[in-house]
Amino acid sequence: MKEVRCRTFSHWSHQKVLSRTQMISAGFFYCNFGDRVICLYCNLICQQWTPHTDDPEEVHQTLSSLCPYVLFILKTRQISTASIINDSSNNRTLKSNRLRFNEIVQASAFHRAYVEISKRQSSFNSWPQEDLPSVDDLVRAGFFYTGSKTIVICFYCNGSLQNWGSKDNPLIEHVRWFPLCPYVKQLCDDELYRKIQESKRIHQERVEINQIERNGNFSNDHRMKNSQLMIPDENTLSRFVAARLDLPISQSLLNRNFKLSVIKRCWEDQLRLKQNDFATDCDLLIACIILQKQIDHINGRQENIICTEYQDENDS
Ligand SMILES: [Zn+2]
Ligand SMILES: [Zn+2]
């Protein structure tokens, strides 16, 4: 949850006024609009922050003292400053939110026909076998065989890999190239996950050094996922958005009574602003909740938005 909150601040352009670290720590999500932020637990919406003087945590506590985040995270943090307290509070609101995310993860496998292990297993009937990882390991790591060359695909994230070496470990390669896949993430413990990411970072640094040495000859690794989308015009944007509305995650949000216009707007904002897909399904869900809450709570009435500047003038 905290990671998702951090990612909403990826395009926060008010770093000089107030740091995103402060905002994140105070429990806020960024709305991608001016300096407007929102707390999803108490629906407090704040904007027009005063440079250098406003303390987001203080503002949150003062304006919304009964907010679960304020009570269970901010207050607890004040009592025991020595230990790090993250979002794993036992508060009911937080807990039920987390359950909802898990449900969405279950419902949004990219290739639902291959959710069952036995289905993935039988896809490997024509697997070439020699000098390749074992079928068992591939299946356990979430892959099914496409029937072509050595190309396998993850039933969950749709990530595909090929050109296997006999010593490759499918689980490790899955994490290495598709670190955001929730399926593979839950297969390995935090320690292993961290190690794989670390080794990938070192490997990438080496690749970059090699590229510089080869005098700017940027040959892309065939396995590399291209993360930035090219969106030259609005036409391309709407094609991209339309394709994403067909994704299982968009459909499952529709089934959860999010309006199509809300889901569509979230995709548009994300692609236009960040030229990139949502890092996880959870990020899209949160984006929809943030937008929906702004619609519900602002409802065209400016007085529902708290401008901290205005508050300060009143105080003094
Ligand atoms: Zn709050
Ligand atoms: Zn995957």
Condensed to tens digits (0 to 9), the pLDDT of residues 253-299 reads 999 899 999 999 999 999 999 888 999 999 999 999 999 988 888 76
Of the candidates 301, 316, 262, 305, the one whose C-alpha atom is nearest the C-alpha of residue 284 is: 262
Query: What is the pLDDT at residue 203?
Result: 67
Query: What is the pLDDT at residue 29?
Result: 95
Query: What is the pLDDT at residue 305?
Result: 62
Q: Which two tokens stand for residue 23?
A: 């905002």
Whose atoms come closest to the Cα of 37: which ligand? Answer: 1
CA–CA separation, 268 and 206 (whole Å): 36
Contact 153, 123 (CB under 8 A): no
Query: What is the pLDDT at residue 259?
Result: 94
Of the candidates 176, 180, 178, the one whose C-alpha atom is nearest the C-alpha of residue 198 is: 176
Whose atoms come closest to the Cα of 173: which ligand? Answer: 2
The DSSP secondary-structure symbol of 49 reads: P
Residue 101 burial by CB count (10 A; 0-12/13-18/19+): exposed, middle or buried? middle
- Cα of 50 from ligand 1 centre, angstroms: 19
Q: Which amino acid is at 263?
A: I
Contact 17, 52 (CB under 8 A): yes
- Cα of 181 from ligand 1 centre, angstroms: 30
* Spans of the chain below 70 pLDDT: 77-108, 203-227, 299-316
* Phi, psi of 30, rounded to the nearest 5 degrees: -85, 140
Q: pLDDT tens across 213-256, in order?
A: 544 333 333 333 445 788 888 999 999 999 999 999 999 999 98
- Cα of 154 from ligand 2 centre, angstroms: 5
Query: What is the pLDDT at residue 299?
Result: 66
